Amino acid sequence: MPISGVNLGKIWYLKKVNLFKGMSQEEMAALSKLVVEKTFRKKEIIFFPGQPGNHVYLLKKGVVKISRITPDGRELMLALLKPGEIFGELDAVSESSRDAQAEAHNDVMICVLARNDLIDLIKAKPELGIRLSKLIGFRRRVLENRIENLIFRSIPQRLALLLLELSEQFGEKSATGINITISLTHQDLANLIGAARATTTEFLNDFKKKSIIEMRGKLIIIKQPEALILLSRSNK
């Protein structure tokens, strides 16, 4: 039975977030009243490094880019997030300042939850805190793996791994291959693998010549995923 004064569309979205699974209709209705919806235009900054972690963000629509600026001024992209994902949770729980930047990769809609409201929810439902701890642990492992790849793998290996990751996260199968549905520039790809744009372009062109991928503007089609797997494991 619908609950008076509740945004049902917001509740529908919150139910899709793994963190809140198992909550009752009444609990979801109460949560929806705590969450504020905000929109950000493409390239608009959601939060900067150094800002206090007073909020947790739930991505409802669009893609968000999480990145850090290296000491030499280069951008290192840590993640591309899609709808249903949470970000800013570690800083909120640890009461620390942001150590990364969140930017709208395209036009996005975000649900914002205040840190204090999140803490109250965790106190009321301890299993939510367990899920959040698991999420934070998973994010740390992903970041550690990405840093390890930057240190120990060659640029072609990093690029091959990245394309495989993007195909899993944003890929759609078609008659011609796996279409990566997110629009990415060569600079975006370079920032994701910690390489110069010119070098990234060089290896993308090499993959194209070998018919491993096809590029249509900023869109990539993976034609031979098995070749990318072999490249990612190669010592060359």
Would you say residue 4 has pLDDT above 60? no
Q: 103, 129, 151: which is the final residue of a domain?
A: 151
For residue 151, what pLDDT is reported? Answer: 85
Q: Do 227 and 174 share a domain, yes or no? A: yes
Q: Is residue 44 part of a domain?
A: yes
What is the rounded distance in angstroms from the CA atom of residue 137 to the CA atom of residue 228? 28
CATH number of the domain at 146, please. Answer: 2.60.120.10
- Which letter does DSSP use for residue 62 in this model? S
- Which letter does DSSP use for residue 2 in this model? P
For residue 218, what pLDDT is reported? Answer: 86
Helix (H, G, I), strand (E, B) or coil at 16: coil
pLDDT band with cut points at 50, 70 and 90 for residue 210: very high
Q: Do 39 and 144 share a domain, yes or no? A: yes
CA 13 to chain centre: 17
**pLDDT tens, position by position, 138-182:** 888 888 888 888 888 999 999 999 999 999 999 999 998 999 999
**Which domain covers residue 99, as residue numbers?**
8-151
Q: Is residue 2 part of a domain?
A: no
**Average confidence (pLDDT) over 39-68:** 94
**Average confidence (pLDDT) over 109-128:** 91
**Average confidence (pLDDT) over 20-31:** 83
For 154: left if phi > 0, alpha if psi spans -120 to 50, otherwise beta; the answer is: beta
Helix (H, G, I), strand (E, B) or coil at 10: helix
DSSP labels, 189-234: HHHHHT--HHHHHHHHHHHHHTTSEEEETTEEEES-HHHHHHHHH-
Q: Do 105 and 174 share a domain, yes or no? A: no
Burial state string for 89-112 with b = 16 or more CB within 10 A and e = fewer than 16: bbbbbeeeebebbbbbbeebbbbb
Residue with tokens 């929109």: 39
Would you say residue 75 has pLDDT above 80? yes
